[in-house]
Chains A and B, each alone.
Chain A
Amino acid sequence: MTLATPLLDPAPGKDGRPVLSVRDLHITFPSEAGPVQAVRGVGFDLLPGRTLCVVGESGSGKSATALGVMGLLPPSAEVRGQVLLDGQDLVGLDDRALSKIRGKSIGMVFQDPLSALTPIYSVGRLLADALRVHQDLTRRAAWEQAVQLLDLVGIPDPRGRATAFPHEFSGGMRQRVVIALAIANRPAVLVADEPTTALDVTVQAQILDVLRLAQQETGAGLVLITHDLGVVAGHADDVAVMYAGRFVEHAGVTELFRRPTMPYTARLLAAVPTVDGGVRRPLVPIGGEPPALVDLPAGCPFAPRCAVALDACRTAEPESHEVTGHGHVACLRAAEIADGSLDPKGDTPPAGPPAPADRTATATATGEVVLRVEDLVKTFPVTKGAVLKRRIGTLRAVGGVGFALRAGETLALVGESGSGKTTTLMEILRLARPEGGRVEICGTDVAALDSPAAVRRLRRDVQIVMQDPLGALDPRMPVSHSLAEPLRAIGRDRASIRARVRELLALVGLDDTIGDRFPAALSGGQRQRVGIARALATEPRLLALDEPLSALDVSVQAGVINLLTRLKRELGLAYLVVAHDLAVVRYVSDRIAVMYLGHIVETGDTEAIFADPRHPYTRALLSAIPIPDPGRERTRERVVLTGEPPNAARPPRGCVFVDRCPLYREAGEELRRRCRTEPPAQTPVAGDSGHRYACHGV
């Protein structure tokens, strides 16, 4: 199969020569099902100092492209095409020849900073080694340069921290070290594979700034791989959208966002939850799932999910061709879409959640209180010593959290990692007397549960949906067994279990045949639906959802959001959602509680929080979320938090947010004293008693 290579004409710059040119790259992996064509004819030019963003969902071939450029694919992978770096073709070079180029001419930043650094070497040693691979330096000189690099990427006290080991750094700090490793030898090309996916939003903003700084320092061309269209809007010069191993659209960032011309791009943009603007627009999920890359059928791989597909789309895969004034698009109807005569989203009705007006009605409806939490406290001992553990401190993971949740209502606990949101959830689900405070579920105080039988009875009313649907399902159990298990546990008979399993599958929009399959044979979205179905098996009244959407791709996410909304309406459930992504939360929850270091700093109706955030932390959190619109994303004023949450074992005496608070820095002497010494009380906003915040400075 020969495909025309989509190439942009080199933009007229001061240095028009591309540093990296990829031509017709094909990557194939062997698998038990047959060869997986992960990358099928990708091509691009990268100019110095420019950023190419490659967006796509998991399995679209983005990471394989990056590793193919680096020559880091496993030996079993088959690579064809050209990767030209300074006129030299890297494809087909052996490991020794490639090792002279890697790190020197191309640097790479990886996705998961927690595992990307060798645990047994200090970060200074890692950096010094990376320098000495390509440069003839003495140990001392390399160490000095390593310290300078750590300083450049914003590690405080770089000289002292250089001797520290990776496990002594937080995720954001480790990612800074990985960036320092990548730019150590001033490469001409930087490849960053999802560099911020594993990080909190506030840290993501910092890391992207460091990446931009590193790019400026080295003048390198950057290939930034991401699934986050907001990051693309803020950072890309050019954007390539990948689907099923190909670039289906490749254009300048403004052109792409102004008029997405490939139907997939358009649908992807419509499926992204956003935080900007006063009004929520409904999410339109893309039906179906991305194709498996084994034995691809003829035709456009997106055709089965496309709303505007023609018969011709199903017979031959369209080649990528230039659309005047836009870029390269692999779609037969690109011209119609580009001139505005065809809506690429088709006329699919927004099967989204009910309109906001509808939602307020349910939110204010006085359903029965299903969950009441008052002043909940959970601490962990901080110990030292190998044999005899001495208690040297107390970590207050949750420090006096309270809220109430009614039937038919969704409350979202939002915050960065370490804010205590998951601990709160787990303390509620423990169904035992909490360390401090009260937990009341369906009118029963859990401290008053006197027998295991009573606990089991209450357990039926409270169920959980986990973050990682693959980890949450037993890989050796077919779906129907997983669904039957909770029913067997409560002693239902066999016939009624079988009927209920079918009912549950239908309820979450899955086919009956799914019941016989194993979790490994399901897609991410289907697995999460099974997870939800299992949680619903015992007809609970309260559903705890721990990051239910963060492991899902954008196009699938929207469908699960809509499912959750429908189930809540139909079954009158109450949801307690834990999430770090405020954009997603906006679409699932009626009320939001923002947590920081074990405390709720602001709580209120979702739209009230989005329209009128009061607490500086809420504002920073909202502002850290990138907006998928290049115009607004690049001009808006951002509140960027410095640093990371402090150690919860030594929280500040007054307001927990004081160390990172932008208001505190500008505050007068009197206010500063109060912030430092006096914990702020929950203050209601005038005219909206449900909206409360804890801050002295607002």
Chain B
Amino acid sequence: MVRHVIRKAAGWLLMIVVATNATYFLASWFLDPRSNYRDLRPVRSEDQIDRALAPYHLDPREPLVHRWWDWLTSVTLHFDWGRSPTGVSVNGEIGYRALVSAELVTLATVLSVVIGVALGVYTAARQYGWADRFSQAVSILVFNVPASVAALLVVFVAIWLNQHAGLRFLYVAGENSPGVEGLLPTIADRLLHLILPTASLTLMGYVGYHLTQRSLLLDTLGADFVRTARATGLTRAQAIRRHALRTALIPTAASVAFSVPAVFTGAVITESVFAWNGMGRYFVQTISKNDVHGTVATAAFAATLTAVGAILADIATVFLDPRVRVS
């Protein structure tokens, strides 16, 4: 089993390397750092611009392969992800943002899975009951609301709640309040800021799990082996828990890995709405500012998140499905 997970993890590491390098070449071809300097006054010559870019390994006169090699060695040897066209260190920008975004994406994914699967199981066992019909209607409604609209709705609801509770505990902007000191107050402040963005991301994410888990479980509920389990003397609830649910969870576990990129994309919008300085916003900023190194670092971050999700999914699959351990 350990071997199985290690083999999978090695595969994902390879995937991160390939994806990141591919992004480097794509970004270098399509983003032009020189344009950042063209609007500056006094007007600079092309030569001056290129010289200004040279220390950051962005000089277009240097062959791409050379620039790539410089970038690769600095990443692998010093874990230095390079600098933006204006000389800002990518590492400095990313360190804090990555933490904030990882927090958001992880929490939202976990919550989506837990809420979605729980709802799916609850409603599948009560197919066509009022709880099933109601929650399905809500889920389909939510499914059709664009992420930005949903985030704004969450903001409105939060403001209304704040006003009626007479207390400002739901923060609609930023990832922390200025001027908070001490470890515990800082953590509490950060968590409070996390509530609304997480809620809006979860709202976008849980629907898929609810609807797929419901239909997956409905398929297995009618399976012959559940009937066999009941024939040996289990009650319906026991048979569902021990035989149907475990089988029906396997495909969900596998799909979690591949939902991480979608959650990350959702985070881009959510972060903008809630004025968060996270990776999602940084991603948009780096592309619009022709920041090759920043874009690549963001891509590497997203790939890492996906890989972590996938490895967790693999571990969950092994846990759920003992057949994997044998083969």
Contacts and interface: CB of A to CB of B under 8 A. Distances in A.
Chain A interface SS verdict (over half) = loop
Interface stretch (A115-123, A293-301, A491-499, A641-649): A115-123
Nearest to B231: A108
Nearest to B243: A118
Contact of A118 (B238, B247, B320, B326): B247
Nearest to B247: A120
A99 B223 contact: no
Nearest to A108: B231
A167 interface: yes
A184 interface: yes
Given A120-B247, A120-B323, A122-B322, A115 B224 contact: yes
A355 to B, nearest CB: 45
Contact of B230 (A102, A122, A165): A102
Interface in A63-110: 70, 72, 95-96, 99-104, 107-108, 110
Contact of B227 (A72, A100, A119, A120): A72
Given A120-B320, A120-B322, A165-B323, A72 B232 contact: no
B225 A99 contact: no
B228 A181 contact: yes
B224 A130 contact: no
A685 interface: no
A133 B232 contact: yes
Contacts of B234: 99, 133
Given A100-B233, A102-B231, A110-B231, 5 more contacts: A108-B231, A115-B223, A118-B229, A130-B233, A165-B326
A104 B231 CA distance: 9
Given A115-B223, A130-B233, A120 B321 contact: yes
B232 A119 contact: no
B323 A119 contact: yes
Per CB-CB distance, the 4 closest pairs between chain A and chain B, nearest first, are A103-B233, A130-B232, A103-B232, A115-B224
Most buried by A among B225, B229, B233, B250: B233
Interface residues of A, number: 34
B244 to A, nearest CB: 9
B246 interface: yes
Contacts of A101: 233
Given A120-B247, A165-B323, A165-B326, A102 B232 contact: yes
Contacts of B223: 115
Interface in A538-562: none
Contacts of B322: 120-122, 165
A108 B233 CA distance: 11
Interface of A: 70, 72, 95-96, 99-104, 107-108, 110, 112, 115-122, 129-130, 133-134, 165, 167, 178, 181-182, 184-185, 387
Interface in B215-242: 223-238, 242
A121 B225 CA distance: 11
Contacts of B323: 119-120, 165, 167
Given A110-B228, A112-B224, A178-B228, A134 B233 contact: yes
B233 A118 contact: no
Nearest to B244: A118
Contacts of B320: 120
A623 to B, nearest CB: 31
Contacts of B246: 120
Contacts of A104: 233
B227 A184 contact: no
Most buried by A among B231, B242, B243: B231
A408 to B, nearest CB: 44
A95 B243 contact: no
Given A119-B323, A167-B323, A110 B233 contact: no
B231 A70 contact: yes
Contact of B224 (A95, A110, A133): A110
Given A115-B224, A120-B246, A165-B322, A95 B236 contact: yes
10 contacts: A99-B238, A102-B230, A115-B224, A115-B225, A116-B224, A117-B225, A118-B225, A120-B246, A165-B323, A181-B231
Contacts of A116: 224-225, 227-228
Contacts of A95: 235-237
A134 B238 CA distance: 14
A467 B225 CA distance: 25
Given A119-B247, A120-B246, A99 B233 contact: yes
A107 B223 CA distance: 18
A119 B247 CA distance: 8
B233 A102 contact: yes
B247 A96 contact: no
Contacts of B232: 102-103, 129-130, 133, 181, 184
Contacts of A178: 228
A165 B246 CA distance: 15
A72 B235 CA distance: 10
Contacts of B229: 118
Nearest to B320: A120
Nearest to A99: B235
Contacts of B235: 95-96, 99
B233 A72 contact: no
Interface string B141-171: 0000000000000000000000000000000
Given A115-B223, A119-B247, A120-B321, A99 B228 contact: no
Contacts of A100: 233
Most buried by B among A101, A121, A167: A121
Contacts of B243: 118, 121
A184 B232 CA distance: 9
Contacts of A117: 225, 228
Contacts of A129: 232, 242
Most buried by A among B250, B320, B323: B323
A181 B229 CA distance: 9
A178 B229 CA distance: 10
Nearest to B242: A129
A165 B323 CA distance: 7
A573 to B, nearest CB: 39
Nearest to B233: A103
Nearest to B237: A95
A191 B314 CA distance: 41
Most buried by A among B223, B229, B234, B247: B229
A122 B237 CA distance: 21
A100 B230 CA distance: 10
A115 B250 CA distance: 17
B53 to A, nearest CB: 41
Contacts of A115: 223-225
A165 B237 CA distance: 24
A102 B239 CA distance: 13
Contacts of B242: 129
Nearest to B226: A118
B253 to A, nearest CB: 12
B269 to A, nearest CB: 36
B168 to A, nearest CB: 50
Most buried by A among B224, B236, B246, B321: B224
Contacts of B227: 72, 110, 116
A121 B242 CA distance: 10
A72 B236 CA distance: 9
A184 B223 CA distance: 22
A112 B250 CA distance: 23
Given A110-B228, A167-B323, A133 B247 contact: no
Most buried by A among B247, B320, B321, B322: B322
Contacts of B233: 99-104, 130, 133-134, 185
Interface in B278-327: 320-323, 326
B236 to A, nearest CB: 5
Nearest to A96: B235
